[in-house]
Structure 1
Amino acid sequence: MELNSVKEKLVSVHTDVLIVGAGPTGLALGVDLARRGVDALVVERGAGLAPGSRGKGIQPRTLEDEIRAAGGDYPIGLIWQDGERVTERSMFDPAEDGEAGSPFGEPWMVPQWRTQEILHARLTELGGRVVFDREVTALHQDEDGVSVHFASGEGAGTVRARYVVAADGGRSAVRRAVGIAMTGAGADGSGVVAPDPILVGDVRISGLDRDHWHLFPPRGDGDGFMAVCPLAGTEYFQVVAGFLAGTTVDASPEGVRKVVAARSHLPADAVTEVRWVSDFRPRAALADRFRAGRVFLAGDAAHIHSPAGGQGLNTSVQDAYNLGWKLGAVLRGEAPESLLDTYEEERRPVAAEMLGLSTKIHRGEARRGRETRQLGLGYRGSALAVETRGDVPQEALRAGDRAPDAAVDGVRLFDVFRGPHWTLLAVGTDAEPPALPGVRTARIGSDERYGTGVFLVRPDGYVGWAGTDPKDLQEYAAQVGLSVA
């Protein structure tokens, strides 16, 4: 897909929300705000969208948004030894039937660069835009908004926004500008999950089938592991190779070819194209805060993960989905500004949990299984989770939990929930839901996942309020920007 980089002057631009960073987080937030009619601008330091498949796994919780057509199932792992096929193994623990009320039980592979293309196209379709070659150099905020200044030259200028979202990665310039520190989640407190560097690249390679994730264990001569995974929906493979601490990694096309030849039975010229290559040391770190006044942190700017387990990109996109509807409600004057305080309240504990999980998987202390699918994450402790039924068991669906899917009379609840709206769902009750502006109403018979009651489902798919008498909704509705008619 051809993507034309937008080049426009930002001498003095005013917008409601400035999103810094055009990775999956920034683009997803831009899409969500655009479909809510919020004036938002995405700016990106680079000349275009990032090219690599840094994150290639979309977990079921994120798949409940639309991206299925661009990817495919993860292949089975195939272990090689001295040029011979040794054994096969599943790379993930299988999902249980109907696990957690989602039609998507397993992770879905979509290269990150493809995810970004899809989000960028959707943003453009909705009338949004991304301005490239814009590097943040300074930021000043006051009671009314934030002024963000960009580097001199063609990209110079200032954007004045009511709110700013830092989605500019682990080395976030915006996070540094507002003085928010990150605390390492590594055992030594440094945030280094492992001191061993890793090389990753997207390549065309001959001599390996596309039905397997090819695994080459260390040979014992000082080399590390290598994995070669076909990238679904493309003609490329992702090569990942580990090195011993202190090794200087040759992150060049020729370096990739040398690694493939040294660690497999393939010759160097089997790598016929290197589309992208990079090297890194796995880190894990969490921002001390997710908000400083009118500036919010999201994605890698707020939490840096080891790639093990596929948690970084998915946690980041869910940040955007959580923040988008709240910004929209406040900017439209429907909800009090205090609603935005719940972003950090809800997302920081989730990020901390996912950081711990991805670190354990990286170190071989846990497998990719139920937790990595993120379907059990919720916000029961949030100020926005109001449970008014007094006799509901802890294991049952409660306010703060993800609203599960169900097929009722040929209609899927996920189809009812899909969109930027709230949904008021009456289950197994004759109670008449009140009329709420902008809220879709639905009624189904008793369902084992929901039990009986009335459920107000948030735009991001979580149960906000649960009860038996819809008349008790008034106070909650005012808190989140829904006025009872």
Structure 2
Amino acid sequence: MTDVLIVGAGPTGLTLACDLARRGVALRIVDRSPEHPRSSRSKGPNARSLEVLEDLGVVEAVLAAGSPPLPMRKYRDGVPVADTDPYAGSSPTPDAPYDRGRLIAQWRLEEILRDRLAGYGVAVETGTEVVGLTDDGSSVTVTLADGSTAGARYVVGCDGAHSRVRKLLGVPFDGETDEEQLMVCGDVEITPGVLDRGIWHQWFDEDGAVMLCPVPGTRTGWWFQSGPERDADGRPLAPSPDGFRRLFARHTRLPAGSITGATLLSTYRVNVRMADRYRVGRVLLAGDAAHVHAIAGGLGMNTGIQDAFNLGWKLDRTLRKRGGPGLLDTYEEERLPVAAWTLALTSERLRATLEAIREPGGGLDTAITPSTAGLDRGYRWSSLARLGNGGGNGDGDEDGVRSGDRAPDAPCAEAATGAPTRLFRVFAGPHITVLGFGAGTERTLREAAGTHGEAVRTSRVYDAGEPGPGTAAPDALHDRDGLARAAYGVDGDTVVVIRPDNHVALIAAARDRDAVRRCLDALDGVREPDPMSVASMVDGTRKG
């Protein structure tokens, strides 16, 4: 019997597996494919997903393997008519270190995540297909295609839009498929020198389109997307290498033989569908198994990665019988509305893009908006955003950071050594973070550490002019430029609690220690303070 069985080893399943494995959760991750796919598919993680990947310890590998988003060159009748850089003028800010996503082939991202998972002693079990499951209320028995069975305390279906897990649960996948908006896709090889690999090329004509984006880490590989060829009656033809060459030559006015290879060919239809629930007993859904939408804005894989990051810590605490009642139910409570929002946004961006490309100079840059970066998605409506404060800190449209929002970053320094650091480095890992701004928070920090132990990381945040020489605790931070206070909009003595998925759980005045206690009890379970731990913390503070 394992704790968690993850079905599907794409970016969603691998993100969840990495997060659970670092928490010490016993898990298996299976995929029905006999070998790891080499499809480029998704264009890469957006800014918010890069933050998740940083927390998981793989962002440097992702940045090294990928490339920044490329400027887009739009053509009409084979002639360049406009160059556009959707990110011109944008740059990282103190609270958001990634102002844009990263281009990387999906197979390469999955490879990086599998390597990370292997470091925890877990490998993907390929060629393992789930064909049945039974939930008896205390565990789930899964039947595999070879006739064997496996037991798990929880099962998570990350097995894509055609999810077997979702179908076995009988969960509706309501929505619609647009049979008119078709696209043929694939990975192609193009003779070196034919096209500039520093450009995402987009040909839009009255009778169709071709889009070619270079695959990072290759010399000749490109993502190919186009409207399909059609027969004499207007019916779409299945994609083929020769068909790709004909489409390429028609729209680019370049030799058809420039395409020297074409693989992983598929037809894409715009599907806008969403499961009506993400949990049935001990079985949960994530990623494309729970929602699919238009590709405009590139949010498919990213929404799945962020599903997984929301779910991982909640599963862990539920397995350990930590956290408040219903903690696992907040996964659906928080992520289902995000999926609904994503469906609406991507459908609207697709409409805007199709309208834009009717005119010369229009292109895929129309699909990109500040919201597609994922940095403005939070959970202010969630019951977890109301912990300990009667709902006031998580409701409404107040300006500034509130409970449920993404936790911003800020550069600061280690107070004990002066070495530069960032809030994201403090947040990174499976713990809850408790920041204390001002001397009046020290008692609350001691209580949190004494009661919740290694489940929390407490950090006193000193202002400019503090602390005195040799007085800072090892985990203390120095907010010398006031950027941490500015990021959270706090004045005076204030406690900020950050969830393990790097969303704000609570912002409370230091005097409101009961609110902090209630919040931590809901996130980590009610615990009795450890007198020795508290005494040690107090003594350490005096000596520090």
TM-score by length of 1: 0.90
Q: Distance in 2 between matches of 1:484 and 1:213?
A: 58
1:443 correspondence with 2:460: yes
Q: Distance in 2 between matches of 1:391 and 1:297?
A: 30
Q: Distance in 1 between matches of 2:345 and 2:528?
A: 41
Structure 1 residue 98 displacement after superposition: 4.8
1:475 correspondence with 2:518: yes
1:423 pairs, out of 418, 421, 433, with 433
Other-structure match for 2:79: 84
Other-structure match for 2:44: 57
Residue 506 of structure 2: SS of its match in structure 1? Answer: strand
Percent identity between the two aligned chains: 40
Q: Which 5+ residue runs of structure 1 have no aligned equivalent?
A: 1-13, 185-189
Structure 1 residue 267 displacement after superposition: 1.6
Change (3 A) 1:391 1:126: closer
1:364 correspondence with 2:335: no
1:197 correspondence with 2:182: yes
2:506 pairs, out of 462, 465, 473, with 465
Q: Distance in 2 between matches of 1:88 and 1:96?
A: 17
Change (3 A) 1:191 1:291: farther
Structure 1 residue 284 displacement after superposition: 1.1
Residue 211 of structure 1: SS of its match in structure 2? Answer: coil
- 1:270-289 equivalent positions in 2, closer than 5 A: 270-289=258-277
Q: Distance in 1 between matches of 2:399 and 2:228?
A: 44
2:68 pairs, out of 52, 73, 77, with 73
- 1:283-302 equivalent positions in 2, closer than 5 A: 283-302=271-290
AA partner of residue 15 (structure 1): T
C-alpha contact (below 8 Å) 2:77/2:251 kept by paired residues: no
Other-structure match for 1:407: 411
Q: Distance in 1 between matches of 2:282 and 2:19?
A: 19
Other-structure match for 2:213: 229
Residue 338 of structure 1: SS of its match in structure 2? Answer: coil
1:241 correspondence with 2:257: no
- 1:87-102 equivalent positions in 2, closer than 5 A: 87-90=82-85, 92=86, 94=88, 96-98=90-92, 101-102=95-96
C-alpha contact (below 8 Å) 1:437/1:484 kept by paired residues: no
Q: Distance in 2 between matches of 1:287 and 1:329?
A: 25
Structure 1 residue 101 displacement after superposition: 1.9
Change (3 A) 1:197 1:100: farther
Change (3 A) 1:34 1:337: farther
2:343 pairs, out of 342, 355, 367, with 355
Other-structure match for 1:126: 120
Residue 57 of structure 1: SS of its match in structure 2? Answer: coil
Structure 1 residue 81 displacement after superposition: 3.2
Residue 384 of structure 1: SS of its match in structure 2? Answer: helix
Other-structure match for 1:250: 238
Other-structure match for 1:326: 314
Q: Distance in 2 between matches of 1:107 and 1:428?
A: 35
Other-structure match for 2:11: 24
Structure 1 residue 378 displacement after superposition: 0.4
C-alpha contact (below 8 Å) 1:147/1:159 kept by paired residues: yes
Q: Distance in 1 between matches of 2:229 and 2:273?
A: 22
AA partner of residue 79 (structure 1): K
C-alpha contact (below 8 Å) 1:287/1:303 kept by paired residues: yes
C-alpha contact (below 8 Å) 2:385/2:404 kept by paired residues: yes
Q: Distance in 2 between matches of 1:71 and 1:334?
A: 38
Listed one character per residue, the Cα deviations across residues 335-393 of structure 1 (whole Å, up to 9, x for unaligned) are 35621000000000011111111111112266411110010110111111136396898
Structure 1 residue 70 displacement after superposition: 1.7
Q: Distance in 2 between matches of 1:425 and 1:94?
A: 35
AA partner of residue 198 (structure 1): M
Aligned-residue CA RMSD (Å): 2.1
Other-structure match for 2:374: 374
C-alpha contact (below 8 Å) 1:20/1:44 kept by paired residues: yes
TM-score by length of 2: 0.80
Q: Distance in 1 between matches of 2:117 and 2:430?
A: 15
C-alpha contact (below 8 Å) 2:393/2:507 kept by paired residues: no
Q: Distance in 1 between matches of 2:13 and 2:508?
A: 35
Listed one character per residue, the Cα deviations across residues 251-281 of structure 1 (whole Å, up to 9, x for unaligned) are 2323322221222122222112224221121
Q: Distance in 2 between matches of 1:265 and 1:415?
A: 50
Q: Distance in 1 between matches of 2:89 and 2:501?
A: 23
Other-structure match for 2:204: 217
AA partner of residue 184 (structure 2): L
C-alpha contact (below 8 Å) 2:183/2:268 kept by paired residues: yes
Q: Distance in 2 between matches of 1:401 and 1:484?
A: 29
Larger-Rg structure: 2
1:267 correspondence with 2:255: yes
AA partner of residue 372 (structure 2): T
Listed one character per residue, the Cα deviations across residues 132-174 of structure 1 (whole Å, up to 9, x for unaligned) are 112222111111111111113xxx3111111110101111111
User: Which stretch shows the higher mean deviation, 167-176 or 467-476?
Assistant: 467-476
Listed one character per residue, the Cα deviations across residues 88-141 of structure 1 (whole Å, up to 9, x for unaligned) are 123x35575556821000121111111111111111111112111122221111
1:40 correspondence with 2:8: no
Structure with more helix by fraction: 2
Q: Distance in 1 between matches of 2:89 and 2:373?
A: 9
Residue 283 of structure 1: SS of its match in structure 2? Answer: strand
Q: Which 5+ residue runs of structure 2 have no aligned equivalent?
A: 54-58, 354-365, 414-419, 464-481, 530-544
